[in-house]
Amino acid sequence: MDLKERLLEDMKKAMKARESGRERLSLIRMLRAAIKNAEIEKGCDLDDPGVVEVLAGELKKRKDALEEFRKAGRDDLVKATEKELEILAEYLPEPLGEEEIRQMVIALVEEMGATGPKDLGRVMGRVMPQVRGRADGRVVNRVVREVLAGE
């Protein structure tokens, strides 16, 4: 079952669960709308990697919002956003740890023959499609910079 079908099935289950599934239902509807908007924008149906990319974007938005809610002292929104993050994580592949990213980057740098910071764009262009939806781009960028600097 692909990810879009799984979201549809989970949405049906949440609808049947009524009150207890309300938060899940709301989030799944937002996710399906985001996927549909991405499909309209690209002009084609998204496959699982494309859906994972959309879901990763939604995860990032919520993580950024969570930071702002904490700064503002909005505990009600912090709690709701944490619940959304928990539900959203169920649909994403297991996130990569920093050491896994580092090993991947080191292998890629050796394969490409990258020598220094001037090759950052080339390396990032090759590594991001491999980690999309499984790692934060800021972390990947930092690791690539460290590896290229020889740290």
Domain CATH for 113: 1.10.10.410
Widest CA span in the chain:
57
Provide the whole-model pTM. Answer: 0.75
| Total residues found in the chain within this entry | 151
For the segment 133-148, what is each residue's pLDDT rounded down to a tens digit?
A: 788 888 889 998 988 8
- Examine the domain organization and report whether 83 and 125 are in the same domain: no
- Examine the domain organization and report whether 84 and 102 are in the same domain: no
- pLDDT value of position 68: 93
For 108, phi then psi, to 5°, come to: -70, -40
How far is residue 74's CA from residue 8's CA, in Å, rounded to a whole number?
Answer: 32
Considering its fold, how many domains does the chain have in total? Answer: 2
* Domain containing residue 21: 3-89
- Examine the domain organization and report whether 83 and 113 are in the same domain: no
How far is residue 110's CA from residue 129's CA, in Å, rounded to a whole number?
Answer: 18
User: Mean pLDDT across the stretch 69-87?
Assistant: 92
- Examine the domain organization and report whether 104 and 144 are in the same domain: yes
State yes or no: pLDDT of 151 exceeds 70: no
Residue 76 sits in a domain whose CATH number is 1.10.1510.10
Q: What is the mean pLDDT of the chain?
A: 88
